[in-house]
Amino acid sequence: MSQTDETGSDGRREDLVSDTERRAPAPSRRALLSWGGAGLALGAAAAGGAVAMARTADEVPAAVSGEAVEFHGPHQAGIATPVQDRLHFAAFDVKTEDRAELIALLKEWTEAARRMTAGRAVGEGAYGGLPEAPPDDTGEALGLKPSRLTLTIGFGPSLFGRFGLADRRPDALVDLPKFPGDNLDPNRSGGDLCVQACADDPQVAVHAIRNLARIGFGKVVVRWSQLGFGKTSSTTPEAQTPRNLFGFKDGTRNIAGHETDRLRKFVWVGEKDGPAWMTGGSYLVARRIRMHIETWDRTSLQEQEDIFGRDKREGAPVGKAKEHDEPFLKAMKPDAHVRLAHPDSNNGATILRRGYSFTDGTDGLGRLDAGLFFLAYQRDPRTGFIPIQRSLVADALNEYIQHVGSAVFAIPPGVRDKDDWWGRSLFSEEA
């Protein structure tokens, strides 16, 4: 069996190292895999098992649950990609002060991401080379399908104060202002790096973050992480709109993955936007928003519908019949969420929402620690999230929610091919 065919014909992850091979005291194959040198040949094989899809253009065709999403392309996957069912999001702090070590890690991460998104294990042979060595891969995703795993990396403002990156910080990567009502927990905010793992199987998403954390041991440390389970928006308009924990359809008016023009206008950083290394990238604003569902559940239907400016059953805007009817903002209460968030109330400001519900057990008062892990992608937060959130200061919804975590990241462009790596345009002199 060739190494180019590590994903079985049924799409399941497999380990092709035979028992004899594994037990034989051969040198660990890990060295072969590290970036540079012979290991590159393996990279070429990573697309094996991936759904054939042309991500050279902006189009992102829908993939079937279970299959692989192509890792390479002009933009990172996981933004315009049809939203997967589960999320594991991690913010990391960089512990090393050594620029070369950080670059080496980013290269190692890229290779691992390339393999995992294709449904393969980290490292050559899922169980390591020698019984005396820890296995290369932690193993819990063996036998699972690629599950449309996407891994998306981002760089936080704090990274740019170090590693000689100060003059490379994009103007658009602003520190978010403090908004009225914010109650931010520093232990759930910020981070030098982030990785968003989305997959249709949570074990696959958790496995991916864990293995990246493990590869980064001693160089980076997880600052905070968030598991999300019910996607609260959709980038595939033909799909049924998911409902959030307040029971309302969420994501009705969003940018769809196939809307090339709107993606270019509102999501992808253009050539003229600068800096050059960000072309094809985006900016991510992540907000952990606690939702007080016990209070909400005691609110009348009328009040709930007034707050959103949409009806609960159908999701139609006030006075309209169908979910996808154009909202007539003046028919809504002045403090309705949809009215205040709508582009027409914000000089056209438009973001791509990709949030997930979360439930992190119960707080000390027996209330569910539940809410929305809000993820917004945009071409520039100064003309995206920030003005919309400012407008939402008047939002009737604020009585029922509170922002408790916050972070912003520059999302570099996609990894072009097997020789490219996460952050190359940022760290290389050429770009």
Residues at the site binding a copy of itself, with contacts judged by CB under 8 A = 15, 19, 22, 86, 88, 90, 93, 126-128, 130-135, 137-143, 187, 202-203, 206, 210, 213-214, 217, 221-227, 229-230, 240, 243-248, 293-294, 296-302, 304-305, 312-313, 357, 359-362, 364, 366-368, 370
Name the β-bridge partners of 291.
401
CB 321 within 8 A of CB 334: no
Percent helix / strand / coil, the chain, rounded to 5? 25, 20, 55
Enter the tokens of residue 320: 């309209």
In angstroms, give the least distance from the CB of 401 to ligand HEM: 4
3-class secondary structure, 316:
coil
For a copy of itself, give the closer residue by CB, 275 or 355: 355
Asked if residues 174 and 382 have their Cβ atoms less than 8 Å apart, the reply is yes
Of positions 81, 150, 226, 252, contacts ligand HEM by CB under 6 A? 252
**Least distance (Å) between residue 349 CB and a copy of itself:** 28
55 binds ligand HEM (CB under 6 A): no
Binding piece for ligand HEM, criterion CB under 6 A, among 24-32, 82-90, 339-347, 358-366: 339-347
- The least distance separating a copy of itself from the CB of residue 355, rounded to whole angstroms, comes to 14
Q: Beta strand 352-353 with 401-411: parallel, antiparallel or unpaired?
A: unpaired
Cβ at position 313, least distance to ligand HEM in Å: 13
Both tokens assigned to 72: 């390479």
Does residue number 29 form part of the binding site for ligand HEM (CB under 6 A)? no
| Residue 336 burial (CB count, 10 A) | 25
Rounded to a whole number of angstroms, the minimum distance from the CB of residue 314 to ligand HEM is 11
Q: Phi and psi at residue 239, in whole multiples of 5°?
A: -75, 160
Backbone angles phi, psi at 393, to 5 degrees: -60, -30
Size of the site for ligand HEM (CB under 6 A): 27
> Judged by CB, which is closer to a copy of itself: 26, or 133?
133
Site string for ligand HEM, 292-331 (x = CB under 6 A): ----------------x-x----------------x----
Report if residue 352 touches ligand HEM, rule: CB under 6 A: no
- Cα distance between residue 41 and residue 384, in whole Å: 41
Tell me the C-alpha distance between 220 and 242, whole Å. Answer: 35
Examine residue 266 and tell whether it contacts ligand HEM (CB under 6 A): no
308 binds, options a copy of itself, ligand HEM, none, Cβ within 5 to 8 A by partner type: ligand HEM
Say what the alpha-carbon torsion angle 226, 230, 231, 232 is, to the nearest 10 degrees. -100
Q: How far apart are CA 371 and CA 359, in angstroms?
A: 7
Residue 64's binding partner, choosing from ligand HEM, a copy of itself, none, with beta-carbon cut-off 5 to 8 A by kind?
none
Stretch of 43-51, 85-93, 116-124, 341-349 contacting ligand HEM, by CB under 6 A: 341-349
Give the residue ranges of DSSP H helices in 172-258.
202-215
Phi and psi at 153, nearest 5°, equal -100, 150
Give the shortest CB-98-to-a copy of itself separation in angstroms: 19
Q: Residue 394: which residues within 8 A CB-CB, separation 6 or more?
A: 334, 335, 340
Where on the chain is the footprint of ligand HEM (CB under 6 A)?
A: 244, 246, 248-253, 287, 289, 291, 308, 310, 327, 337-338, 341-343, 351, 372, 374, 385, 388-389, 392, 401
